[in-house]
Chains A and B, each alone.
Chain A
Amino acid sequence: MRFGIVVFPGSNCDTDCQFVTEKILGEPTTFIWHQEKTLPDIDVLILPGGFSYGDYLRAGAIARFSPIMDAVIDFAQKGGYVLGICNGFQILTEAGLLPGALLQNRSTKFICKWVHLRVESNESAFTQLYMPKQVISIPIAHADGNYFLDPDALAALEDNQQVLFRYVNENGETSPAANPNGSVNHIAGIRNTAGNVLGMMPHPERAADPVLGGIEGITLFKSLQNTWAQS
């Protein structure tokens, strides 16, 4: 299974993702410079976290116009797996591959901490190795992670079971206190209707190595690996 990681100017979790896919999963991984217009032969594309273009104007708003994005959209439309983490999620919404927008955190401040997530469905290439409704611990690190979608579209998103991760407390319950950024319906990560594009604010690559205090993020990458092995 081959991973590709897009590097925008200002991406800063690109090598963190590579460490997980290459060193921990043992899968070949290629960096793709944002100026490229075509993708190499890959099976999963990661849009990593960071501050593409300094997050100037609006997070993800400028990266969406990078030359590589046409190829990214094409890859997604053809059913390729795309994983957008943090800034990658913001770029996916700006590019129209996922619905909604990421607003400023309710506290107006950057927040970096471990949070609890509930895996809403394991019927997904990204989550198939999790237990249904499993509560996992994964860090967040963002200033603009407050997911917003208008009520009608939100209802459709929920009906289609597109919400894969929700912020919860350690018992798996949603509550205002367990929602770190004010996201509507406590949403932490969503997929597109076809199910091949996932955007999430938490950083699974930061919870993939026991030395860093948690390994419940590695299951997401292993799920992809497993999906690939089965197909």
Chain B
Amino acid sequence: MIKSEQDAVPYHTLTDDEYKKVVTLLDRKPNATELAIFSAMWSEHCSYKSSKPFLKRFPTEGEHVIHGPGENAGVVDIGDGWVAVFKIESHNHPSYIEPFQGAATGVGGILRDIFTMGARPVALLNSLRFGPLEVPKNRYLMEQVVAGIAGYGNCIGVPTVGGEIVFNETYSKNPLVNVFCLGIAKKEDIVTAKAGGIGNPVIYVGSKTGRDGVHGATMASAELDEATEDRHTVQVGDPFTEKRLVEACLELIHSGTLVGIQDMGAAGLTSSATEMADRGDCGIEIDLSKVPLREASITPPEIMISESQERMLLVAEKGRENEVFAIFKKWDLDVAEIGRVTNDHLFKVKQGDRIVAEIPVKALTAEAPIYERPVKEPRFQDMLLGIHIDAIAEPKSYSKALLSLLASPNFASKKWVYEQYDHMVQTNTVLAPGQGTAVIRLKETDKALAITTDGNSTYALLNPYFGGAIAVAEAARNLACVGAKPIGLTNCLNFGSPERPETMWSFGLAVEGMSDACKRFNIPVVSGNVSLYNETLGLGIYPTPIVGMVGLIDGTALIEHPLTPGFKSSGEKIVLIGETREELGGSAYLKIIHSQERGYPPNLDFDKENGVQNLVREAAQSGLLTAAHDCSEGGLAIALAECCLLSPAGVGGKVVLSPPSIRTDGLLFGESQSRVIVTVKAEALQSLENQITAQGLPYTVLGETGGNALDISIENPKRSIIRLSIDKMKAAHENGLTDYFNKRAEPAT
């Protein structure tokens, strides 16, 4: 008999109603271990109880989708027998409490999600959000997060090839660390996290179980307070063990002994065992006395919810245990048979002969509570949208305004960050960090994959629907600029407390915006992650939906000669595809130059966006373009400046704009969507114009490349509005971020 021990139990976070539901499901009171198991599995982090009703809106199917959401990562067919496997995940809460290990284990966790599927991880990206760097604590957080990502990714030998970093006051006490990983595999090597075969052994591999990360999933499902010192809830990463785990698991998958495998991530042994049993529609019985432990005194509830890193649970073919053991022993990893697959649909946990938990699998999964949280538009929303543009003066010097933007950490070069990441290991990196979109080649094929992460929380704050939709559009546009066709999307939805109706209002709209964009652009959502309770002391973050998108480049032309944003040589024509309207609301210019974060964010016309992307992609593939750059945050001026800054030959540009019917700052810094700057050889201009006209798209021939400055003027009467040498822009751009860190770091030698 199970003795009821529900009083004063340590790992119990259920609400009263949830507790009552547990009693009903079990038809008795749960004991301490069972309460810990229910608390972990029913946590927001594991059950998605607040977000599930919304997530159904995402289009998850597509011609090439092999596995959508529900597996450890999404799997998409890329042809010739190969598949791409990818997912993005958050590690926000741990990274605030202990930034180095929080970020490091975020990388470790997402890597396991990928190789668990049978894929070799080939690229990492990360989307980071911090508070302003003037605040020492934020510098500390950023320095440690970057070091943590570097420490893990570099050691394991997976290149960190891109991502984005954004600074905003809203993240001061809630930094965001979203980690993306892409893997590739032969189609036949894909495995799933499904238990099966009654009597098959359940095998534990990897590190021993300790007390680190106990309570992690429930910690990530609560607000933090100022006194949060729960460092023990943060796991400690060991990339060396993970590297051996990658190699051993991939060897195992090729051995043909495997039935199913899942990483022990959030809620550790509990979630891996129950989710595998749930997918396989069977039961699992495990014996805790067989689990490799770091310390003998650890209790059953602690073993069940420990989040010690670098551990996997697998089901193997009965009779082939020794083959499995031999592989893990070769790599010096712990391996132990701890249980078996059963047909009673129960999750049964024993310690020797004593039963410490016995729960129907479905009670933990299908029966987990789902909340239709109340939804309410924030009271301040109208106030945020209202903006009296005429009261905002145009800057005295547009050149100075552009320099200020270039030097602000949001636009400044991120070299200080990406030089700490090994972005070249595996020798596939065709387009490295700093070039906009990352491109990696697939050695045994004529293919490459382009990868980008995007998200603008100011837009999402002002209009969650467009914030979500634009994140998708911008990611797809970035892919189009390297000639890649989007094959799938993964997202990380970072929001505040779901118990606030205002949070769920923005959450619902952001999901709707993303879903609509995905449907219109025909991009399936194949995996994702929701991170709620990004709140400290009652202050939540701006809604921050992040998109990770993967595109396919087929054929060697764009691999051998990748399309990049930088101007290539003098005398080429600069063309803006798309239309510039006076859309200053929510712009970086308003925020950085005028300290205002308000107004209507830019509009998005799905059809126009689609048209621009298709045109750019086809022109890229046909070899017509010599450069292409997305024109979005920071507007036309920033995009042109970046084309100069990224020019390998230091080529500038001379641009003449027609007299605007809109404000000049709107023309230069407005963030109208669906715009791309391209260059073509002078003799190819007619051909490009014909193609644009045939698609009925608006465009402007802006001017010509050349010189060593960015020169923007307006006609009638002709007057210069921006004139900056590349050297001057470079000084602002290269030091803007670095100065916060290096001014005190390196002694002069």
Question: Is B745 interfacial (CB 8 A cutoff)?
Answer: yes
Complex: A51 Cα to B425 Cα, angstroms: 12
Complex: A210 Cα to B427 Cα, angstroms: 11
CB neighbours (8 Å) of B583 from chain A are none
| Contact among A12, A106, A109, A210 with B560 in the assembled complex (CB-CB below 8 Å) | A210
Shortest beta-carbon distance, A5 to chain B, in Å? 14
Shortest beta-carbon distance, B661 to chain A, in Å? 44
Tell whether A12 pairs with B243 under 8 Å between CB atoms, given A176-B749, A212-B429, A212-B430: yes
Q: Decide if A113 touches B419 in the complex (CB within 8 Å).
A: yes
Question: Is B332 interfacial (CB 8 A cutoff)?
Answer: yes
Tell whether A10 pairs with B155 under 8 Å between CB atoms, given A51-B239, A110-B150, A211-B560: yes
Q: Which of A38-46, A53-61, A73-81 contacts B (4 or more CB under 8 A)?
A: A53-61
Question: Is A107 interfacial (CB 8 A cutoff)?
Answer: yes
| Contact among A9, A107, A209, A211 with B332 in the assembled complex (CB-CB below 8 Å) | A9
Tell whether A54 pairs with B421 under 8 Å between CB atoms, given A176-B749, A182-B749, A212-B429: no
Q: Decide if B239 touches A141 in the complex (CB within 8 Å).
A: no
Shortest beta-carbon distance, A46 to chain B, in Å? 14
Shortest beta-carbon distance, B559 to chain A, in Å? 6
Q: Decide if A139 touches B424 in the complex (CB within 8 Å).
A: yes
Q: Decide if B419 touches A13 in the complex (CB within 8 Å).
A: no
Chain A stretch 14-31: residues in CB contact (< 8 A) with chain B? 15-16, 19
Shortest beta-carbon distance, B148 to chain A, in Å? 12
Chain B stretch 467-486: residues in CB contact (< 8 A) with chain A? none
Shortest beta-carbon distance, A86 to chain B, in Å? 10
Shortest beta-carbon distance, B239 to chain A, in Å? 7
CB neighbours (8 Å) of B418 from chain A are 112
Interface size, chain A (Cβ < 8 Å)? 37
| Contact among B156, B241, B422, B749 with A110 in the assembled complex (CB-CB below 8 Å) | B422
Shortest beta-carbon distance, A107 to chain B, in Å? 6
Q: Name, among A9, A50, A55, A112, the residue most crowded by chain B CB atoms within 10 Å (CB to CB).
A: A112
Question: Is A191 interfacial (CB 8 A cutoff)?
Answer: no
Complex: A112 Cα to B449 Cα, angstroms: 22
Question: Is B226 interfacial (CB 8 A cutoff)?
Answer: no
Which residue of chain A is the closest to B150 with respect to CB atoms? A110
| Contact among A10, A51, A141 with B424 in the assembled complex (CB-CB below 8 Å) | A141
CB neighbours (8 Å) of A143 from chain B are 154
Complex: A91 Cα to B736 Cα, angstroms: 38
Question: Is B229 interfacial (CB 8 A cutoff)?
Answer: no
Which residue of chain B is the closest to A55 with respect to CB atoms? B155
Complex: A10 Cα to B152 Cα, angstroms: 12
CB neighbours (8 Å) of B243 from chain A are 9-10, 12, 51, 54
Complex: A106 Cα to B745 Cα, angstroms: 10
Question: Is B725 interfacial (CB 8 A cutoff)?
Answer: no
Shortest beta-carbon distance, B106 to chain A, in Å? 18
CB neighbours (8 Å) of B423 from chain A are 112
Shortest beta-carbon distance, B144 to chain A, in Å? 12
Complex: A169 Cα to B396 Cα, angstroms: 40
Which residue of chain B is the closest to A177 with respect to CB atoms? B749
CB neighbours (8 Å) of B559 from chain A are 211
Tell whether A53 pairs with B427 under 8 Å between CB atoms, given A107-B746, A109-B420: no
Q: Decide if A50 touches B157 in the complex (CB within 8 Å).
A: yes
Complex: A209 Cα to B428 Cα, angstroms: 10
When each residue 414-455 of chain B gets 1 if its CB lies under 8 Å from chain A and 0 otherwise, what string results?
A: 000011111111110110100000000101000000000000
Shortest beta-carbon distance, A47 to chain B, in Å? 15
Question: Is B318 interfacial (CB 8 A cutoff)?
Answer: no
Question: Is B371 interfacial (CB 8 A cutoff)?
Answer: no
Shortest beta-carbon distance, A138 to chain B, in Å? 11
Chain B stretch 320-343: residues in CB contact (< 8 A) with chain A? 331-332
| Contact among B427, B560, B749 with A206 in the assembled complex (CB-CB below 8 Å) | B427
CB neighbours (8 Å) of A113 from chain B are 419
Q: Decide if A112 touches B419 in the complex (CB within 8 Å).
A: yes
Complex: A211 Cα to B426 Cα, angstroms: 13
Complex: A211 Cα to B331 Cα, angstroms: 33
Question: Is A64 interfacial (CB 8 A cutoff)?
Answer: no
Shortest beta-carbon distance, B123 to chain A, in Å? 14
Tell whether A10 pairs with B240 under 8 Å between CB atoms, given A50-B157, A112-B424: yes
Complex: A16 Cα to B432 Cα, angstroms: 17
Chain A stretch 111-159: residues in CB contact (< 8 A) with chain B? 111-113, 139, 141, 143
CB neighbours (8 Å) of A16 from chain B are 425-427
Question: Is A166 interfacial (CB 8 A cutoff)?
Answer: no
Chain A stretch 195-209: residues in CB contact (< 8 A) with chain B? 203, 205-206, 208-209
Complex: A19 Cα to B421 Cα, angstroms: 22
Shortest beta-carbon distance, B543 to chain A, in Å? 34
Complex: A213 Cα to B241 Cα, angstroms: 32
Q: Decide if B420 touches A13 in the complex (CB within 8 Å).
A: no
Question: Is B238 interfacial (CB 8 A cutoff)?
Answer: yes
Shortest beta-carbon distance, B329 to chain A, in Å? 11
Which residue of chain B is the closest to A35 with respect to CB atoms? B330
| Contact among B240, B332, B419, B429 with A51 in the assembled complex (CB-CB below 8 Å) | B240
Which residue of chain B is the closest to A11 with respect to CB atoms? B157
CB neighbours (8 Å) of A13 from chain B are 157, 425
Shortest beta-carbon distance, B145 to chain A, in Å? 14
| Contact among B154, B244, B430 with A211 in the assembled complex (CB-CB below 8 Å) | B430
CB neighbours (8 Å) of B238 from chain A are 54
26 A-B residue pairings within 8 Å (CB atoms)? A9-B240, A10-B240, A10-B243, A12-B156, A12-B157, A16-B425, A16-B427, A50-B157, A51-B157, A51-B239, A53-B240, A54-B239, A106-B746, A109-B147, A110-B422, A111-B420, A112-B420, A112-B421, A139-B424, A141-B154, A176-B748, A179-B749, A208-B427, A211-B430, A211-B560, A212-B430
**6 tightest CB-CB pairs across the interface, nearest first?**
A12-B157, A54-B240, A176-B749, A51-B155, A16-B427, A141-B422
Q: Give me 14 other A-B pairs in contact (C-beta within 8 A), A9-B244, A51-B240, A141-B422 excluded.
A: A10-B243, A13-B425, A15-B426, A54-B241, A110-B150, A110-B421, A111-B419, A112-B418, A112-B423, A112-B424, A141-B154, A141-B425, A206-B427, A212-B427
